[in-house]
Each structure stands twice: as C-alpha cells, then as structure tokens.
Amino acid sequence: MEKIRLGRTELVVSRVGFGGIPIQRISEDEAIAVVRRCLELGINFLDTANGYTTSEERIGKAISGRSEGLVLATKSLERTPEGIENHLKLSLERLGVKSIDLFQFHNVSDAGTLDKILAPGGLLTVAEEAKRAGLIKHIGVTSHQIDTAKEAVKSDRFETIMFPCNFITCEDAEELLPLARERDIGFIAMKPLAGGMLDNIPLAFKYLLQFPDVVSIPGIERVTEIEAIIPIVARPQPLTAAEQAEIERLRQELGTRFCRRCEYCQPCAVEIAISDVMAFPSLAKRLPLVRLYTGKFAEELEKAADCTECGDCEERCPYHLPIREMIVEHVKMYRAGKREYQKRLA
C-alpha cells in the first residue's frame, strides 16, 4: 500500500491506518487475528486510545516482537499532569513498547480544555517532557469541534491533528485541512465511514483519496472489512460523475442532523441507548423489519420514551445535535413503523 509522510513528524504511514475502537467488541483471539491481517495487507499505522478498554493491550499482543517499522499512535483523555503521566505509563505497558510514536491529547473539543493544555506549564509540557525522555516521539491532538481544532492547529504546538472526515461531514475537515497544510501538521481522518453509517466503502474511500496527504483510520472489526478497503486504496480512481451525484444524494438524505455514533453523549441517567435511537431512520432503511421491531433494538426504542429531556446529553455532544428533539421524532417514526409491521403480520 502507498505510504505518505505524516506532516512534520516525518513519519511515513500507510494511506489507510487501523482504527482500534471496534476490536474491543470481539474476542481477544479475533482481535489479534484482525490486527495481524491488517499488517499483512500493508498497514503500518495503528491508532488506539487509553480509553478504548482492551484495545491497546490487544494491539500490543498482536504486534508483540514485530513492532519494527510500525507507527503506533495512542491518546489520553486525562486532563491532569499526573493523569497524563499515568496513562502514558499504562499505554507503554499495554502496547509493550519503550516509546510511543504519536501521543495525542484525545477529544479536545472546547476552548477551556485547549487552554489547559497550551497554558505555560500546562499539560502539553508534561507530554513534551516525556518526549525529551524518549517515551514519546511526537505529540498530536484529536478533536470533533471545528473551532477548537482550528485553534489547536493555529497554536503550532502539535505535530498532528485528528478530525472527523468523510463525505457526509466534510465541510469542517475541508476547512481545517488547508490550515494544517500551511503549518505542515499531519492530518489524520477519523470516522472515514461516518462511524459505521456509510456502507458504500468505494465511495467513502474514493472521496478521501482525493486528499493526497490525509491518512484515514477506519475502525476495523472484521478481516473482510479491511479486505474490502484495500483494493480501492491500492488502485486509486477519481470519483465519476455518477459517484459525485450519489455523494450529493447521500448528503441530502443524511443531512446535518447526523449522529456520528461517537458515544460522547453518554452516560444517560435513564440509560437510553442514544446513538441507536439517533440512527433509527438510517437503520430503518437497511435492517430487516424483524430486527427493527423485535428484540434488543425494539427494546431500546421503547425505552427512549423514558427520556426526561434533561439535556445533559446535548451538552456532551460535540456536534451539538438536537438530541431531545430527534429522540421524540425517532420514537414517533418507530411507533408508526411498528404499527405497519404488526398490521402486515396480522
């Protein structure tokens, strides 16, 4: 697979990296097999996070004794100097390495947090000391919020920026990318498949391949997923007029009220599975009716009626989605669909 330079880090990484979120959901043996298959297929950039439960440890086991030539990235949500130091120590242990290639401040999506990192003697100095000590090679930042991401890039203190980038939510990323380029800051595209909401893999990756200096990190849970992506990346083709039209159609259809399934809105005090409820219109187009209107998914939609409209989730949503309003709409849509489904069965 083609490799590209990751901005001023001078790291050379595969055009597509490995996103380490989904391997938390499968068995350890399966996770190790998936990571190893990705390496066989030419991926050398693996991204994980301290917060992804078993992900770092599983990647560490998969690469044990074979980390030569790999670029390992992880991140921390900690916001205290001691917390950063502890997370760094844990990440090194779990990944089984002496140094982390790219250590990122995770989900810096508000001005206050960015200030805390950049302030004189702030959290960045902790990472910089670790870099001087050889525990970290490069320092980056990840964000879901465009204004904060722009400020982070403009600060010129980070070597990489990770930001959501896919053709549904592309405006912000397309605004951020030139700023990163001006400063030679490496650009990592998270959520290339919109958090699992885009199932047209060729379209999603052809869109991203338009940006020659962007590395994307799809979350990979199954070998078949990466095997579907690799041929598109191996033989890049420009988008055809029909594909451009399809992108437009999908943008219109999914719109700006699009849940990225990032789960930052959780926890909900009454345990509503917010992202599943938010995704209902999209799932309703793709799932068999029996899966929509019976079983676990139906239970989650029924439970959504318990929403107290407290608004806590909206404060945590980095995309400022009108969650309360959308839950009401989606529950209504679910009930109407369920009535139809039951009529058909009667």
Residues that bind ligand SF4 (CB under 6 A): 259-265, 268-270, 272, 274-275, 278, 307-313, 317, 319, 321, 323-324, 327
Say if residues 42 and 14 touch (Cβ distance below 8 Å). Answer: yes
Name the residue nearer to ligand SF4 (CB basis): 107 or 160. 107
DSSP result, 262-317: --TTPPPTT---HHHHHTHHHHHHHS-HHHHHSHHHHHHHHHGGG-----HHHHH-
DSSP state of 52: S
Name the residue nearer to ligand SF4 (CB basis): 55 or 109. 109
CB of 277 to ligand SF4, least distance (A): 8
CB of 260 to ligand SF4, least distance (A): 4
Name the residue nearer to ligand SF4 (CB basis): 6 or 278. 278
Return d(Cα 172, Cα 170) in angstroms, integer.
6
Say if residues 171 and 180 touch (Cβ distance below 8 Å). Answer: no
Name the residue nearer to ligand SF4 (CB basis): 6 or 262. 262
DSSP result, 67-117: -TT-EEEEEE---SHHHHHHHHHHHHHHHT-SSEEEEEE----SHHHHHHH
Name the residue nearer to ligand SF4 (CB basis): 7 or 218. 218
The tally of CA atoms less than 13 A away on the side-chain side of residue 197 is 27
CB of 300 to ligand SF4, least distance (A): 11
Question: Reduced to 3 states, what is the DSSP secondary structure of residue 318?
Answer: coil
CB of 195 to ligand SF4, least distance (A): 8
Q: Mention every residue, 6+ apart, whose C-beta is less than 8 A from residue 90.
A: 50, 56
DSSP state of 10: -
Name the residue nearer to ligand SF4 (CB basis): 129 or 314. 314
CB of 149 to ligand SF4, least distance (A): 16
CB of 87 to ligand SF4, least distance (A): 22
Residue 22 CA to chain centroid, in angstroms? 10
Residues forming beta bridges with residue 4, ordered by sequence position: 13
CB of 116 to ligand SF4, least distance (A): 21
CB of 39 to ligand SF4, least distance (A): 30
Name the residue nearer to ligand SF4 (CB basis): 135 or 262. 262
**Other Cβ atoms closer than 10 A to 295:** 10
**Other Cβ atoms closer than 10 A to 206:** 21
Name the residue nearer to ligand SF4 (CB basis): 7 or 19. 19
